[in-house]
Amino acid sequence: MRITIIALALSSLIFSCIAEKQKENQVITLSNGSIEIKLLPAVGGTLVSASLTGHENILNSDSTQWNESSDKRPSMDPAQPFKAYNGMIVWLSPQSEWWVKQDTYPKLKKSRSQWPPDPYLTSAAYKITNQTASEITLQSPESPNTHVQFTKTFRIDGNKVFITASARNCSKDTVSWGLWFNTRMNGWDKVFVPADSMDLKKTQYMVYPDIHKPALKYADGCFSYRAVAPESGQAAYNSKSFFSMENPVIIGYKHKQWLIIRSEKVDKARIHPEQGRIEIYIENSANKVNDLQELEMHFAYEKIAPGASIQASQNWEINPAQGIPTNDKLPSEIKIKL
């Protein structure tokens, strides 16, 4: 009898572990009737979809990747080709230090490589540590590269999404990092940054010779890019703008929906000098479907003692759009919400 009980207990434990593993390999949906978000624990705890209920996804993410088999998931070897799932991801800041604090990959360290991001934080399977109907918490493995462990919490309430990320120092030494939230939309979607004209630090144009396209515009208190198709034979146009402000807001338009991204106030002096409080990266090519636009926010660059953590958060508000933005000005329907 005792052996039977033990066998049943072990069987129950095994099936429970299998069920939990299957759960972490699937897309998880949080919905409250107003908004809906989808998360992919199996690949970096990535937020792959956000929308009003019944609407199309605002984020740039390929849904055919979401339920792939395990053998198609990304490798933890940074020498392997990088596989993007886009959506909303979290990186460490600054990019120039991604590979200088490790010794496993000496070539990446010596060259101060700025790509790829740490796969243990962006591509590894995250563990679900808590889940309710409106909230989920996901935890990454401890990274041997950057020596931190990410924890992400996503919560929905009404038409808002509350996102918190923390980075715990899992080494025996003090390390320095900032958190970096990166939300990806399509390169032809309309995106606005409400700001003073003096908040723009710089714009980098990444096509040579120095082609100043797509064009960054400033009108009616907002910066926005005017997407431009490359001329015949020209490679994709790439551009990135860096903004310095303490109270950042980014606004995106997609599928008759407005996404308003806000975060807490951070002293501008605490942002790593290589980065901006807000950064907007955009690429325009002849293949519009695959073009990318990154809505990025950087947080304080801090020293993290062994076992200690840093934390950052955003809140997203998703609203139905009354019309389609046709110029570089933010519509009044959104202005009144700022």
Q: What is the per-residue pLDDT across 183-193, written as a single tens digit (0 to 9) for each?
A: 999 999 999 99
pLDDT in tens, 71-123: 999 999 999 999 999 999 999 999 999 999 999 999 999 999 999 999 999 99
- Closest to 37 (Cα-Cα) out of 24, 21, 19, 53: 53
Mean of pLDDT values over 144-153: 97
Cα gap 213→230, rounded to integer Å: 9
**What secondary structure letter does DSSP report for 22?**
H
Mean pLDDT, all residues of the chain: 92
Sign of CA dihedral 211, 214, 219, 224: negative
Q: Which of 53, 85, 92, 45 is nearest to 68 (CA)?
A: 85
For the chain, how far is it from start to end, CA to CA, in angstroms?
67
Question: Omega into 94 within 30° of 0, i.e. cis?
Answer: yes
Give the per-residue pLDDT at 15: 42
Beta-bridged to residue 167, according to DSSP, are 150, 310
Domains and CATH numbers, the chain: 27-335 (2.70.98.10)
Whether residue 124 is predicted with pLDDT greater than 50 in this model: the reply is yes
Residues 139 and 18 sit within 8 Å (Cβ to Cβ): no
Is-above-0.85 flag for pTM?
A: yes
Q: What is the mean pLDDT of residues 217-242?
A: 92
Query: Do residues 116 and 78 lie in contact, with contact meaning Cβ atoms separated by under 8 Å?
Result: yes
Long-range Cβ contacts of 230-234 (<8 Å, 24+ apart): 230/284, 230/285, 230/286, 234/207
Q: What is the pLDDT of residue 17?
A: 45
Contacts of residue 114, Cβ cutoff 8 Å, sequence gap at least 6:
95, 96, 98
pLDDT at position 24: 58
The 10s digit of each residue's pLDDT in 282-327 is 999 999 999 999 999 999 999 999 999 999 999 999 999 988 888 8
